[in-house]
Amino acid sequence: MSRAPAAAGRQPRQRTDVGFAIACCVVLAAYNNLAGLLPWHRRRYALLNLCATGAALSAAAASGLTATDVGLGRRELRPGLRLGSRLAAAAACAWVLAAAAPAARPILRDERVAGLSGRSIAYQVMVRIPLGTVLWEETAFRGVLQAALSRVMPGGAAIAVTSAVFGIWHVRPTAGALRVNELAGGPGRTLAGVGSGVAATAAGGVLLSWLRVRSGSLAAPMLLHLATNCGGALAAWAVARTQPPDAPVSRAGRPAWSQSSPSRSAHSSRLSSE
């Protein structure tokens, strides 16, 4: 007799969990592609995304997710730091080698950082990328979304959906990057470029999600994400200092960090959104 009421009680809870997971997918798929179009969001990028991070964690707690569920447990912190620091060091070394290799420099060059001052690039790698991009994205995707999905589907499926939404998150920034670097061309070429960028970002999301599962902590994906984005920004900025201003931007590709980089045309006061 007691099993029937218990099962009946679980059904509303499951429906609520499914609803929360769907809402997270919809909000995150839309947020970056819509909010980034607003001038006030670009001007207050780091602050607004810090607020969004707090809102996401509050919503997760209200839905029943714990700190450990979203990768913020104390016990898992040390393994996450250990794994993440090793991978971050490897990523940093890779950027240094790429910037030092003449053959790789045209690929690293990006018009959105070519005109940044030392003060501006310092702001990017010390404030905007760590707080406005990495903290927010890892909390939202590998933290809240992945945990919400893991309650209602197998772990592998949760990682796949999380990574797909992470790719969609980058549609508008990828299109903007192609346009600024004059790589867009016609509609077909733009669509192919955006599709390739989204697919690459989704693949990167799989790795970050795996690190979250492997270590149990958000620290691991955060450290790798931080090293990738900040290292890429610094490498592209350094390359721009060693090449003539009219050096062509390579058609071969663009750096992974560039989703969170600024537009060269407005580097002094307005920053493009992630």
* Domain annotation covers residue 88: yes
Ranges under pLDDT 70 in the chain: 1-10, 181-185, 243-274
At which residue do the structure tokens 């912190």 appear? 77
Query: Is residue 69 domain-resident?
Result: yes
Cα–Cα distance list, 18 to 25, 64, 148, 182, 193 (Å) = 11, 12, 8, 42, 33
Separation between Cα atoms, residue 256 and residue 203, nearest integer Å: 11
Specify the pLDDT at position 250.
Answer: 45
Residue 168 counted as domain residue: yes
pLDDT of residue 88: 98
8 in a structural domain? no
Written as one letter, the residue type at 211 is: L
Domain assignment present for residue 10? The answer is no
Range of the domain at 183: 15-266
Beta-carbon contacts of 194 under 8 Å, excluding residues fewer than 6 positions away, are 171, 174, 175, 178
For residue 181, give the DSSP letter: T
The candidate with the shortest Cα–Cα distance to 272, out of 124, 105, 106, 168, is 124
Tokens of 188: 């077909």
With respect to residue 6, please indicate whether it lies within any of the assigned structural domains: no
Q: What is the per-residue pLDDT for 113? A: 79
Q: Is residue 1 part of a domain?
A: no
At 184 the pLDDT is 65
In order of 102, 135, 140, 185, the CA distances from 51 in angstroms are 41, 11, 12, 37
Please name the residue that has the structure tokens 């997971």: 21
In-domain check, residue 207? yes
Residue with tokens 């010390």: 126
* pLDDT for the residue 257: 43
Residue 140 to residue 132: CA distance in whole angstroms = 12
Outline where the chain has alpha helix (H). Answer: 3-35, 39-43, 45-62, 74-100, 105-108, 111-114, 118-123, 136-137, 146-150, 155-169, 171-180, 187-215, 219-242
Radius of gyration of the chain (CA): 20
Q: What is the pLDDT of residues 243-267, one digit of tens each?
A: 655 555 444 344 444 444 333 333 3
Q: If we measure between CA atoms, which residue out of 223, 30, 54 comes closest to residue 144?
A: 54
Question: 220 is written with which tokens?
Answer: 């691991």
Instruction: Give the number of residues written for the chain.
Output: 274
Distance CA 72, CA 59 (A): 15
Domain count, the chain: 1
